[in-house]
Chains A and B, each alone.
Chain A
């Protein structure tokens, strides 16, 4: 079917970080995920778990608490500040200090007018957030010992905090502790840390502590209802479902334990908390749990996001692991120069790919290298600022990156005659003030003639002109009433067209020459995850979060014939896939073929071949495992799947039959993780 020579890159060393906090807002159906480096990811649950954006960490900050209020996102951390995050411009909008040391936990009241933070000094600090502001309100009476966990009762007047050896109930009105629940100690000299607390509307307090116990308390009387030795080590996190009859806990012992509030006898109204289901899906400590409707989401040190769908019946239960592979690409390819740009958190690297003389071989053959890949440039961002996006021109003569504030463009001169000692020189181009402002830039691309750099900021698309070692802002496309950011950009090979997408499921087409808006693609029900122009710039192919692939004719301003004929024919198995198509490109060698990849598969979609039946089994398990020729489908269909690579960080097509695939294997990701809690396993 297709024969390719692949630059198989494994030297991109993306290090996923542990998940620390999770917060979900039903208003926009977004999940905020904070990681150990302080970055916050926004996931769209509506788009079947699509990672929309990554808010870079600010220097020296950590995220210990995340709270949504409507569309506003608040975070608090060990720097002692509560911050409001601008999820469009990807930076801190407001900041307010706790004045009581590092903050360990954050919560909000049910009406969303106030935030409460638990601090190192033993204070509960209240913040006003009503009316688009974030202001320090007051601090409660100081108590001994840090506050590790906090929750707010729906009645507004009661805050429950968990600390060292105790749980305190505070009156919000008086600012004083009303009650103190003392926990037992496992060892005489070992303090018990209450890592997590929750309170239900009927005043049941649920706590998880460092003894591995999940405890249910009567909050009215301050008495213990029931205590379960649910875990072998610390219970770090718990969550209560919306109807407040199911509690999930997890922690250093990564099993997810479910507790049900249920009747003990069939005809009795007497209900009690019982331990029910235990699930072992994580390999390492679970740091955060939250409920999204009937889904329990968990994340922790193993960097995976796992969600369990809690059906009424156990048989309907299904779960999914979302690996920590970013949905936006961190790798760019200069196709003509055969150079790749790798984006790391605070630097970028430019590598020259290796080359070979051999043109053909058997499947899986590793061709002898005439030259090895060479690292040409490592460019650290100024002041260690996080790099948000980066781009390289096709001939590798220009490189641009953007941090929170500035877009920087460099001209590169590469003399690669002697690959042992390549001569590389770089020069930063002078930016005019208007062109250097990043302003939330999430995506950039150079035109093929390397004269223009297109960058996308929220509600505007800018054309920067590169000439005489200067960068000038040439044009700005303003999109009225558009408040969201753009996340994908594709330029046509003839440098005339630009296609951009936003999180509102829009795909816009612009003419860069006439600087005019052309049209929108028909609005689809979910976001685009990848898009690309055909080599002749007449067609645009867009992959959506639900696995649909649409081809749009730019000239006719409608879907192409192929697309119209086949859009209803996608097999069920294809549509049921959860992984997002993150890279899509026409095969330059054969424009009838569309090459696409998600994190697990590389696929060739041949437009000249018929679609399989709706109920066709595309993924034979054996073929999936071996990828062998013998297991290929008997009837040739348009989908040609290659499961050889896992996880794919980037896929791009060069000229002829060349591909670039950047891969990072699950084993390498797993090997980087810290040691896990030792548990006896049968037979080991």
Chain B
């Protein structure tokens, strides 16, 4: 499990715009901090001490982060987007640095260990520093200069894949935020030429890009992008192909100024995740999509933060301070991940997804393209085939599925009986749709399905129970009487028929009475029951109690029923005989219970006497055996 250690303040700045970047220094454990108008500082990471500093003349602005190029043993940077300066560690005066003027605007200098420094111009052209002759960029790029004027580079990075140098950059049209392209420049060492590929970066609808980062791992360069809706998209690039970017995870609670940096091929640090209305920095497992650790920002930062990862440290620029966090990031294990998921479930209940009929709500969509969805629904029509698959839970958890079931229940043109039956049998009805399910079943007179649903669906709302009860008790309800319900399941099938009711009705009533309920809600729902039904139900309950096969559920129902219609029962002459009968029945039961209580006391005494010996207590007095040795 990844862990973040407490933050440490590395440096502070006089203004918020002063900080440009933090980069590795000329030695291990050293860092260069580029200040736009002030110069360059070299810090020692271990004790946060300033080791060296170069200041720039007034009027000069550093536009590219100062980087140490181990290949030429020089620091390198760009002044005022035009002048490249490089100097060694011994040079004390920044003005004495070697200068190279370039006509085009330089966006950034990129440094890859083992390679010459690469110059990235604002128009998207890329070349090595040494190849720039006479201030002209001799890039092999075939970029159309006219295009580049309308575009701005939002991100760039140079990396290697199997000895091949690759420069990646993301461009954004100035007039259209959603139009993003990714340019990939490969360097061919044999021909000493650059080749370029361009690919559109598809953005989720009306959402903008927060940040991009890439890492080369095994055969591919993996580009991850973070979008404002919380989507993390993944794109795979290799020498031969460039894949489409795909959403792999959706982060919840993302602030408006989030940014992401890759730590390794399975972990990314994301700054700007909100938890309990507080923004913070987290480490996310991008393989499994779990947020592994989170820490609030050292200070409230309502603007874009800058995040970098160097070695085992994360550097966070927040307002006028630069902090660093040490972190541990071991590879994720399934067990640690499960623990994390459980934690996430506790923290954010709305995210919980459970196949067995909980009210689920999912951000997840099955597919993006209309044809994919269509295919999916086509498959869904053959429900049995689909449900045979082991991973069908994926479908049932989606919000589309909820909508589908909802439609099945409410559709008047057809009645998807078999499909619903299958769903009920597999307990795939979300709890939010249970009332609708029973309503639909009642509407269609599906007594067999009701019986089945009562046996399988556990969390039936009290309102649905009352509606069901009213439905079953209707004398003119032929569907109940005619339908053959499998009453063989009843343990008391011999005398299961209640007075004045058919065996089917009796069976269904017993099923309803068995369901768990909350007396507060049930009392409220029972009030809506018609008085005629109340009397009938009372009669049923009375005969059930008389049968001595009752349980506490039935007694509770009886109490609640009388409670809910107290006044009417007292006033109505129809109820009097029934109530007297009920009283007699209850009285006889009470007598039996009293007898049982006596027996229970006797049995308890017997049990106590034959129980295992316990440690005896002296108390106030005892007679005990004493052996003196």
Contacts and interface: CB of A to CB of B under 8 A. Distances in A.
A646 interface: no
B628 A1 contact: yes
Interface stretch (B177-185, B241-249, B612-620): B612-620
Nearest to A359: B625
A645 to B, nearest CB: 9
B472 to A, nearest CB: 59
A414 interface: no
A278 interface: no
Central interface residue in A2, A8, A604, A632, by most chain B CB within 10 Å: A8
A6 B620 contact: no
A7 B626 contact: no
A367 B626 CA distance: 11
Contacts of B628: 1-4, 602, 604, 640-642
B591 interface: no
B624 A366 contact: yes
A356 interface: yes
B627 A6 contact: no
A36 to B, nearest CB: 26
Interface in A332-373: 353-356, 360-367, 369, 372-373
B621 interface: yes
A4 B626 contact: yes
A659 B626 contact: yes
Q: Is the interface of B mostly helix, strand, loop or mixed?
A: strand
Contacts of A644: 626
A367 B623 contact: yes
Contacts of A642: 626, 628
Interface in B589-629: 616-629
B624 A364 contact: yes
A629 interface: yes
A524 interface: no
Nearest to A2: B628
A583 to B, nearest CB: 15
A667 B619 CA distance: 13
A8 B625 contact: no
B629 A8 contact: no
A369 B626 contact: no
B625 A10 contact: no
A356 B624 CA distance: 10
Contacts of B623: 5-8, 354-356, 366-367, 369
A3 B621 CA distance: 19
A5 B626 contact: yes
Contact of B625 (A354, A367, A602): A367
B626 A366 contact: no
B621 A6 contact: no
Nearest to A9: B621
B624 A10 contact: no
A670 interface: no
Interface in A641-668: 641-642, 644, 659
Central interface residue in B619, B620, B626, by most chain A CB within 10 Å: B626
A11 interface: yes
Contacts of B620: 10-11
Contacts of B629: 1, 629, 632, 640
A653 to B, nearest CB: 12
A372 B620 CA distance: 10
A1 B619 CA distance: 27
A362 B621 CA distance: 18
Contacts of B616: 365-366
Nearest to A369: B623
A10 B618 contact: yes
A595 B629 CA distance: 13
Contacts of B625: 3-6, 360-365, 367
B618 to A, nearest CB: 6
A602 B624 CA distance: 15
A6 B626 contact: yes
B627 A3 contact: yes
Nearest to B613: A365
B609 to A, nearest CB: 10
Contacts of A6: 623-626
Interface string A6-22: 11111100000000000
Nearest to A640: B628
Contacts of B626: 3-6, 363-364, 642, 644, 659
A363 B627 contact: yes
A644 B627 CA distance: 11
A561 B622 CA distance: 39
A659 B627 CA distance: 12
Interface in A569-620: 602, 604
Contact of B624 (A1, A2, A367, A641): A367
Interface in A233-255: none
A8 B624 contact: yes
A43 B365 CA distance: 93
Nearest to B616: A366
A366 B613 CA distance: 11
Contacts of A365: 616, 624-625
A440 B624 CA distance: 39
Nearest to A367: B623
Interface in B133-165: none
A331 B585 CA distance: 62
Contacts of B617: 366
Interface in B548-595: none
A372 B621 contact: yes
Contacts of A363: 625-627
B622 A366 contact: yes
Contact of B627 (A2, A7, A354, A373): A2
Given A632-B629, A640-B629, A644-B626, A7 B618 contact: no
Contacts of A629: 627, 629
A640 B628 CA distance: 6
B611 to A, nearest CB: 14
Contacts of B618: 8, 10, 366
Nearest to B620: A11
A280 B622 CA distance: 37
A373 B131 CA distance: 112
Nearest to B621: A373
A116 B85 CA distance: 103
Contacts of B619: 10
B303 to A, nearest CB: 49
A604 B618 CA distance: 23
B475 to A, nearest CB: 64
Contacts of B621: 7-11, 353-354, 372-373
Interface in A166-208: none
A3 B626 CA distance: 6
A380 to B, nearest CB: 22
B619 to A, nearest CB: 7
Contacts of A360: 625
A363 B617 CA distance: 14
A5 B626 CA distance: 6
Central interface residue in B616, B620, B621, by most chain A CB within 10 Å: B621
Contacts of A7: 621, 623
A7 B624 CA distance: 7
B624 A5 contact: yes
Contacts of A354: 621, 623
A1 B624 CA distance: 17
A200 to B, nearest CB: 53
Contacts of B622: 8, 366-367, 369
Given A6-B624, A360-B625, 5 more contacts: A5-B623, A10-B620, A363-B627, A365-B624, A367-B622
Interface of B: 616-629
29 contacts: A1-B628, A2-B628, A4-B626, A5-B626, A6-B624, A6-B626, A7-B621, A8-B618, A8-B623, A8-B624, A11-B620, A11-B621, A354-B621, A356-B623, A360-B625, A361-B625, A363-B626, A364-B624, A365-B616, A365-B624, A365-B625, A366-B617, A366-B623, A367-B624, A367-B625, A372-B621, A640-B628, A640-B629, A642-B628
The 3 residue pairs across chains A and B that have the minimum distance between CB atoms: A363-B627, A361-B625, A366-B616
